Structure 1
Amino acid sequence: MPPASETVPAAAPCPGGTGVLAGRTVARVGYGAMQLERLHDDRAAAIALLRHAIDLGVDHVDTAEFYGNGFVNDVIREALRPEDDVLIVSKVGAVSDPGGPFPLRVAQRPEELRAGVEANLATLGVEQIPVVNLRRMDAGMTIPFPDDQAVDLDDQLAELTALRDAGKIGAIGLSSVSPDVLRRALPAGVVCVQNPYSLVARDDEDLLELCAAEQIAWVPYFPLGGALPGMAKVTDEPAVLAAADRLGCTPAQVGLAWLLHHSPQTLLIPGTATTGHLEANLAAGSIILDDETLTALDAIPPRPSTAPLH
């Protein structure tokens, strides 16, 4: 017990309550670190933003070595402390390509996946990455790739399983996959799935149901839509605007709150480069949607995307 004169700081609440990721209890609202790249010219601000997220209860951070060509992982390495006990989720399947036609280049071959894990270990400065997602090209927004990058799933999972057996990664997740791909991967012990999904883009409802049945964490990216030109935005929907006005919150918070209410399997990783948006995203985990509001939001039809698919 500390002396009576000392004050023990209260533990930060878990934003959104708790869920399970890779066998660990985590806050249902984490932090997607990709947007930290926007602070490339202000490293101190990037570190401070991530520290603020941890202080507010974030205990899982989603990243990739190819975010900012290693910059984001460098920030995470510098910002996090062992006592923070933050679960880091990274991904492989692409690499930075600053001089190419796209900022990323697909890297799906087993040897490239291994190199991606090693690069993440180096930039994060860790001996093991708790979760590594295999970013496939089966669903969602992808970039063009040559035929030799159409790699069989079994070959990829064999490589990731070997890396897990060697202790370099703790668990395997999947990203941008179909239900059939997830079913094929189940014997490898998949702990999470990341696909584009939001109130206005619910094509993967069957995949979410499969995750729920298998007790796999569902971690949607593009949770508010609108990430690319031609993608519908959750915050443009009249029912979302009406709910925000009635609840005294922002339309973005309504969209995030709906995801949490829609399925207890959902964990969120909203990203931002500003303190105000960070605090608003985490506060969305405390918003209660009544039955009338949920009914109105559930009635919003899916909005087809006109963004180019490759």
Structure 2
Amino acid sequence: MTTTHNAPGGTARLAAHQVARVGFGAMQLPATTRENAIAVLRHAVDQGVNHIDTAEFYGEANALIRAALHPYPDGLALVSKVGAVHERELVTAQRPEQLRATVEANLASLDVESLAVVNLRRADFPPGIIAEGDQVVDLDSQLAELTALRDEGKIGGIGLSNVDADQLRSALPAGIACVQNAYNLLDRATEPVLDVCREHDIPWVPFIPLGSAFPQLPKTTEHPAVIAVANQLNATPAQVSLAWLLTGYANTLLIPGTTNPLHLDENLAAANLHLDPPTMATLDDITPA
């Protein structure tokens, strides 16, 4: 299997990889049938996607990726996340030895010797679970373990997820490959982190890009201004929301997830949606929730 199409959205550097700016998030895959999940993954790669974001705690996502794509095509960046494990429910796993064990579990379930990037999912503040007790671990200890794993060749780069600007700045000496934070048109609370990424040319990988992963969050696709722009451009509100993220920073990498092949094509097509300066100003002026 080869990636013969142009990279959706052009490319940007992610650790040692040059990846398409529109990738794919695997979190939703276990919610569909095995056959459909495999078909969606293969279609994504056939359309030029070479950055797949996953995690061992996403259930069967890694097994589905392995079934669909192994042996993996050249240039495919498999990126995973540590900091939690799924037992009877999702719980934090922040201690250094737990981070190492989770990296090893990802390597085994994906059947790879190295992961392109591993993102450390901190659990200091919402969204998601919060660390308590012995799960409250200092960032330096976690980075030391991930640095050792990088030195061993088991991970190619260290990413951070769910961090604030001070944490990112303190982590810079470790060499940060990317940052994954919640961010979208209607939720810009982590803009200060994006500013640090801009300052240091660090790839920015916003999750919840449409604001709809949690029930209490407003959906960007339902905002009147987004709908109006979409109608003007003959696009969908989701495409406008994704294009706004891509246009705002050249090192933005998107990882929208879906189990619907048509939605996948729409997400990839967002990379071709041009938002001129007046349109960007209109969207920028939306008051975040």
Q: Structure 1-normalised TM-score?
A: 0.90
1:86 matched to 2:76? The reply is: yes
Secondary structure in structure 2 of the residue aligned to 1:170: coil
Contact 1:138 1:178 in 2 (8 A): no
3-state SS of 2:28 partner: helix
Kept in 2: contact 1:14–1:57 (CA 8 A): yes
Q: Does 1:74 align with 2:63?
A: yes
Q: Distance in 1 between matches of 2:180 and 2:3?
A: 32
Kept after mapping to 2: 8 A contact 1:139/1:195: no
Matched, 1:175 2:161: yes
Q: Is the alpha carbon distance of 1:168 and 1:23 closer, same or farther for their aligned partners in structure 2, counting shifts above 3 Å? A: closer
The residue number in structure 2 matching 1:292 is 278
Q: Distance in 2 between matches of 1:36 and 1:66?
A: 12
Deviations 1:6-35 (A, max 9, x none): xxx992011111111114221100000111
Tell me which amino acid in the other structure corresponds to 1:35: Q
Letter in 2 for 1:283: A
Corresponding position of 1:113: 99
Distance 2:255 2:73 in 1: 21
Query: How many residues are aligned here?
Result: 287
1:234 equivalent to 2:220? Answer yes
Structure 2: gaps of 5 or more residues? none
SS in 1 for 2:113: coil
Is this contact kept in 2: 1:12–1:56, CA < 8 A? yes
SS in 2 for 1:34: coil
Partner of 2:36: 45
**2:20 paired residue number:** 27
Return the letter of the residue paired with 2:194. Answer: L
How many angstroms apart in 1 are the aligned matches of 2:251 and 2:146?
Answer: 24
Matched, 1:257 2:243: yes
Deviation at 1:296, TM superposition (A): 0.9
Residue 218 of structure 1 aligns to a residue whose secondary structure is coil
One-letter amino acid matched to 1:221:
F
Query: Could you say which residue in structure 2 is the equivalent of 1:306?
Result: none
Q: Deviations over 1:115-148 (max 9, x none)?
A: 1001001100011111000000134402144311
User: Structure 2: how far apart are the matches of 1:302 and 1:262?
Assistant: 15
In the TM superposition, what whole-angstrom CA distance separates every residue of 1:83-115 from its partner, at most 9, and x where no partner exists? 342101101000012x2xxx3110000110011
Percent identity over the alignment? 57
- The 3 A distance-change label for structure 1 pair 162 and 261 is same
Gap change, CA 1:106 and 1:285, over 3 Å in 2: same
CA distance in 2, matches of 1:83, 1:53: 12
State the TM-score, normalized to the length of structure 2. Answer: 0.96
> Which SS does the other structure have where 2:119 is aligned?
strand
Query: Retained in 2: the 8 A contact 1:94–1:106?
Result: yes
Q: Answer whether contact 2:54 2:78 (CA < 8 A) is retained.
A: yes
Q: Answer yes or no: is 1:36 the counterpart of 2:29.
A: yes
Q: Distance in 1 between matches of 2:84 and 2:171?
A: 19
Residue in 2 aligned with 1:64? 55
CA distance in 1, matches of 2:72, 2:186: 39
CA drift at 1:283: 0.5
**How many angstroms does 1:226 deviate by?**
2.2
**1-structure distance, mates of 2:8, 2:58:** 25
* CA-based RMSD: 1.4
Structure with max Cα Rg:
1
Q: Determine if the alignment matches structure 1 residue 11 to structure 2 residue 1.
A: no
Distance 1:126 1:23, change over 3 A: closer
